Amino acid sequence: MNIATLPVVSRDNLRDAILSHLAYSFGKTPETAQTQDWRMALSYAVRDRMVEAWFDATRRTYDAGAKRVYYLSMEFLIGRLLEDGIVNLQLLDQARGALDELGLDFANIVGDEPDAALGNGGLGRLAACFLESLSTLGCPAMGYGIRYEHGLFQQSFAEGRQMEAPETWLLQRHAWEFERPESRYRIGFGGSVSDEAGKAVWTPAVEVDAEAFDTPIAGWQGKWVNTLRLWSARAVHPFDLDSFNRGDFEGAAQPEALARTISRVLYPDDTTEQGKELRLKQEFFFTAAALRDILRRFDSEYDDPGLLPSKVAVQLNDTHPAIAGPELVRLLHDERGLPFDDAMGIAQGCLNYTNHTLLPEALETWSEGVFGKLLPRHLQIVDRIDDAHAKANPSRSLSIRADHQVHMGELSFIMANRVNGVSALHTGLMKETVFEELHALHPEKIVNQTNGVTPRRWLLSCNPRLSSLITDTISDGWVADLERLQELEPHVDDAAWSDRYAEAKRANKADLASWLSDTHGLKVDPEAIFDIQIKRMHEYKRQHLNILEAIAHWQEIKDNPSADWTPRVKIFAGKAAPGYFFAKDIIRLINDVARVVNADPETRDKLEVIFLPNYNVTLAERLIPAADLSEQISTAGKEASGTGNMKFALNGAPTVGTLDGANVEIRERVGAENFFLFGMTADEVDARRAVEDHARKAIEADPRLARALKAIGDGVFSANEPDRYANIVENLSGHDYFLVCSDFSDYWRAQREVDAAFADRSAWTRMAALNTARSGWFSSDRTIRGYMADIWDAKGLV
């Protein structure tokens, strides 16, 4: 069947499909079905509607002999898929109608789906947005990653402290995946390398199988469907019969347990968890399986490996799959007998690398001991790559292998055809800092691709009220062409239209307020400014700057309770890596401040502080449409791009922020007058660090800051343990590497400008609407078009 001939799905079709799956896929009657059964039945009914277009996409790619794009990523933070699938297939009315008829509540059914948290934060969510945009643009593509049994840990609070529990999304059957037992590759680790007649032969000590699980990813209107292929580790021999026969039942199950460890759990630290052997195993495991799969597909169509660069583009999402360089060279040279230089040239023609951070502690390195033990042949190949590169570039002073470490950034750069940063500022800093030498040698290699977000999930689906207003105003072309939001601009001065815009935001805030009340017992005033900071907890993201300002604000309100304060609700959410104690202290401090401030009858109706537990994609979808103010307050030069900042702007929440990452480009587009800028620039940050005693000087110059810090130090928020936050106070008044104190005064000023601006509600609404109208450029469709044109040389087929 051709997609053009696919029958339109009516509410009745969908209802029948749900009932049929309920009976024949899950063995339940409507009387015995639980919410989960209904949710699975609906998911299967929706998934069925993707399959034809999925087959069709594969067929058309083969027929066109098209170049394929492979996105290799340790993380895909996909969240829930059911509502997204329904929205993209334009089945929302039918699904609501069918469930209604069956006596079921749509929100309840889609809300039953576990949030697949197969990523830590920005990098993983970007990969998920990219998959959706690749499908929307009809680009033949596949995502490769790991099918973690346990995604990012679940967070709760005990007396304000972060507690971690394992995440268990796979305890239930995953509705969207197809197991592919026939797609299995054997992956080796360790062992030795021998020389057989001048040929290197690697004999691994341990082997596991990588088994594929495929999830279809439908683009907008379901015209094209790509695949997310996640690898699960299995034992080569699942059961040791000899042990069993000896009566050693535990030993008999050992091989399976050991192999499975590799895909068991996502590493929860996105900066410092370095040098862990299991992580290197995970990296090689999924990268090697992906490359074997890519070559198998290539071999089925072509027999000249020289054609690889014109038929295959591989994108390395950060350095985590960097072993793809040496592994592809190994496959071509050792296993297929191509001369080394040819193999290296072909690999360099296929591979590209995206850098997502300049934080030194997050740049991956492996000790040559660990690396050589696990991947002895790859270490030799790394050295040959290093030598070949040094020979071709005699002025090179650094190397991939230095200080007994393998530097994965250097390796990725050298093995890549193109290297990209994720915002204009970040790309510039890459050239000036970590890749200065390599950039001078290869000045054409580094390109910028500013991040984006998919408008289907981050506007159409999560914010139906604003979406309807937009569609009523400019019709629905914006969904696939987000820059058309510009057409809203003539309406922002129309009073009736702007009332509708304000009403959508007000209703979203009221929804959030009732959810906060129902699920957390929190009462918030929907008239207050909803000021939101949601992201991973990191010192450079400066949640502590935000809470310091909240403390100073609280103190100032108490000084003068009858003044005309603009009521504010400050909402935080975010997880700290389990071993990142400073970040955990910041969480606890925010929770302690919330407890004290929210209990103060004098300030209660003017300031409230909330830290919501277990931040994930689903919570972001709930919070962002209800936000008035977006907090993007990192130390300039540290946030590579940010993508939450784009989601807030798009949903009509102006930013209070620094000139960091994509904030710079957001401000350029929405207009300086619609953005609350504060703080030092990246250059000023460097200069300020050189000032002796910069923190102490900043504290002496700002009595508000001094008083807020003193309150923390005096135990105002931890009466039973006054020195609980001594470490934070000491850090801020001493070293203060992230310059919280030096940026405080200007942040305070910007926040008071926010208060004044919010008090003029029609002017505020205009500012919010202009943020929406001018954020269309931040669609991940635009980003992916950039990768297709500048990096992959790939074409869309729809």
User: Which residues of the shown chain bind ligand 26V in the complex (CB under 6 A)?
Assistant: 120-123, 126, 267, 269-271, 273-274, 318, 356-357, 362, 364, 422, 451, 639-643, 661
In terms of C-beta density within 10 A (0-12 exposed, 13-18 middle, 19 or more buried), how is residue 690 classed?
exposed
- Dist CA 296 CA 375 (whole Å): 22
Cβ contacts of residue 265 below 8 Å, gap of 6+?
148, 149, 150, 166
- Chain center to CA of 628: 23
CB 14 within 8 A of CB 95: yes
Pick between residue 356 and residue 439 the one whose CB is nearest to ligand 26V: 356
Nearest to 20, CA basis, from 98, 120, 112: 98
Q: How far is the CB of 581 from ligand 26V (least distance, A)?
A: 17
Pick between residue 621 and residue 639 the one whose CB is nearest to ligand 26V: 639
Q: How far is the CB of 649 from ligand 26V (least distance, A)?
A: 14
Q: How far is the CB of 583 from ligand 26V (least distance, A)?
A: 14
CB 539 within 8 A of CB 583: yes
The count of other CB atoms within 10 Å of the CB of residue 681 is 15
Catalytically annotated residue among 445, 538, 647, 774: 647
Nearest-10 Cα torsion for 680, 682, 687, 690: 100
Indicate if 442 belongs to the active site: no
CB 326 within 8 A of CB 382: yes
CB 773 within 8 A of CB 486: yes
Pick between residue 498 and residue 780 the one whose CB is nearest to ligand 26V: 780
- Dist CA 311 CA 144 (whole Å): 17
Indicate if 575 belongs to the active site: no
Helix residue ranges per DSSP H, 102-227 = 106-110, 122-136
Q: Identify the residue whose tokens are 């030993």.
A: 251
CB 115 within 8 A of CB 80: yes
Pick between residue 380 and residue 448 the one whose CB is nearest to ligand 26V: 448
Catalytically annotated residue among 229, 234, 456, 541: 541
Pick between residue 381 and residue 662 the one whose CB is nearest to ligand 26V: 662
Pairing of strands 206-218, 178-189: antiparallel
Long-range pairs for 383-391: beta carbons < 8 A, 24 or more residues apart:
384/340, 384/344, 385/325, 385/326, 385/329, 385/344, 385/411, 385/414, 385/415, 386/414, 388/340, 388/341, 388/344, 389/414
CB 533 within 8 A of CB 546: yes
Catalytically annotated residue among 643, 765, 772, 783: 643
Q: How far is the CB of 389 from ligand 26V (least distance, A)?
A: 24
Pick between residue 122 and residue 219 the one whose CB is nearest to ligand 26V: 122
Pick between residue 152 and residue 768 the one whose CB is nearest to ligand 26V: 152
- Dist CA 349 CA 417 (whole Å): 6
- Dist CA 660 CA 680 (whole Å): 10
Pick between residue 229 and residue 356 the one whose CB is nearest to ligand 26V: 356
Catalytically annotated residue among 389, 500, 535, 688: 535
Indicate if 536 belongs to the active site: yes
Handedness of CA 489, 495, 499, 500 (dihedral sign): negative
- Chain center to CA of 225: 21
Q: How far is the CB of 148 from ligand 26V (least distance, A)?
A: 13
Q: How far is the CB of 158 from ligand 26V (least distance, A)?
A: 26
Pick between residue 85 and residue 119 the one whose CB is nearest to ligand 26V: 119
Indicate if 389 belongs to the active site: no
Token code pair at residue 542:
């400066």
Q: How far is the CB of 686 from ligand 26V (least distance, A)?
A: 19
Q: How far is the CB of 657 from ligand 26V (least distance, A)?
A: 13
- Dist CA 64 CA 797 (whole Å): 9
- Dist CA 258 CA 281 (whole Å): 12
Pick between residue 451 and residue 655 the one whose CB is nearest to ligand 26V: 451
Q: How far is the CB of 122 from ligand 26V (least distance, A)?
A: 3
Q: How far is the CB of 277 from ligand 26V (least distance, A)?
A: 13
CB 570 within 8 A of CB 551: no
Q: How far is the CB of 700 from ligand 26V (least distance, A)?
A: 33
What residue type is 141 in one-letter code? A
- Dist CA 102 CA 257 (whole Å): 43
- Dist CA 37 CA 627 (whole Å): 34
Catalytically annotated residue among 330, 536, 544, 688: 536
**578: region left, alpha or beta (phi > 0 left; psi from -120 to 50 alpha):** alpha
Pick between residue 458 and residue 758 the one whose CB is nearest to ligand 26V: 458
Indicate if 535 belongs to the active site: yes
Catalytically annotated residue among 356, 445, 456, 505: 356
Q: How far is the CB of 324 from ligand 26V (least distance, A)?
A: 17
Pick between residue 267 and residue 302 the one whose CB is nearest to ligand 26V: 267
- Dist CA 435 CA 358 (whole Å): 10
Determine the residue with CB nearest ligand 26V.
122
Indicate if 541 belongs to the active site: yes
Backbone φ and ψ for 580, nearest 5 degrees, come out as -95, 85
Handedness of CA 397, 402, 406, 408 (dihedral sign): negative
In terms of C-beta density within 10 A (0-12 exposed, 13-18 middle, 19 or more buried), how is residue 165 classed?
exposed
Catalytic residues, by residue number, are 356, 535-536, 541, 643, 647
